[in-house]
Amino acid sequence: MDKILQKLKHESLGVIPPAVFFFISFQLLALTRALILKEYGIQISTFAAATIAALIVAKVVLVTDMLPFVNRFPHKPLIYNVLWKTAIYLIAAVIVRYAEHLIHFIRAYGGIADANSRLLDEVIWPHFWIVQIWLLVLFLMYCTLRELIRVLGRERFRTIFLGPARPHNG
């Protein structure tokens, strides 16, 4: 039972960094979209959708990290792991997003073949590519930060980034 609780704690803590990173990123993207659409008199509420998307992407990162081939280049220059992990996360996110949309089409149209055909016909391709480009940039930033933290260590990274910790009085 203790092992299960430790695993749950580890999983819960592990999802926090990617969830926070993608929550902030997706909220900024949602705000940008809302402001652009407001110019045309279109009001949208995207907080919930951006929050759910951030949690899904964070979980994709966490699950993908369990794959044995993810950390393929730990002793090469950081760019190898950064680009490798960015590609893997991007592919995993596309698969999850596709499956998520396909499920809705299967419910509406029955079989997988018909649902897939309808999905491909109804995809708004410019929107799809915009999301993919942003995911690529965000995964690249996330992987770069994560690899720097892995190599430098959390405390050293925190000190370099935020400065030395100040002693508490009291």
Contact 140, 132 (CB under 8 A): no
Q: Which pLDDT does position 6 carry in this prediction?
A: 80
pLDDT score, position 149? 92
Q: Cα angle vertex 162, ends 160, 163, to 5°?
A: 65
Q: Quote the tokens at residue 8.
A: 């749950």
pLDDT at site 4: 81
Contact 25, 42 (CB under 8 A): no
Q: What string of DSSP letters covers 73-139?
A: -TTS-HHHHHHHHHHHHHHHHHHHHHHHHHHHHHHHHSSHHHHHHHHHHH--HHHHHHHHHHHHHHH
Say what the pLDDT of residue 82 is. Answer: 95
CB 15 within 8 A of CB 62: yes
Helix (H, G, I), strand (E, B) or coil at 123: coil
DSSP-assigned letter for residue 147: H
pLDDT of residue 83: 96
Q: What is the mean pLDDT of each run of 10 residues along the chain (170 residues)?
A: 78 82 87 81 77 86 88 90 94 88 87 89 85 90 93 91 76
Q: Of 166, 161, 154, whose CA–CA distance to 17 is shortest?
A: 154
Tokens matching residue 162 = 């935020």
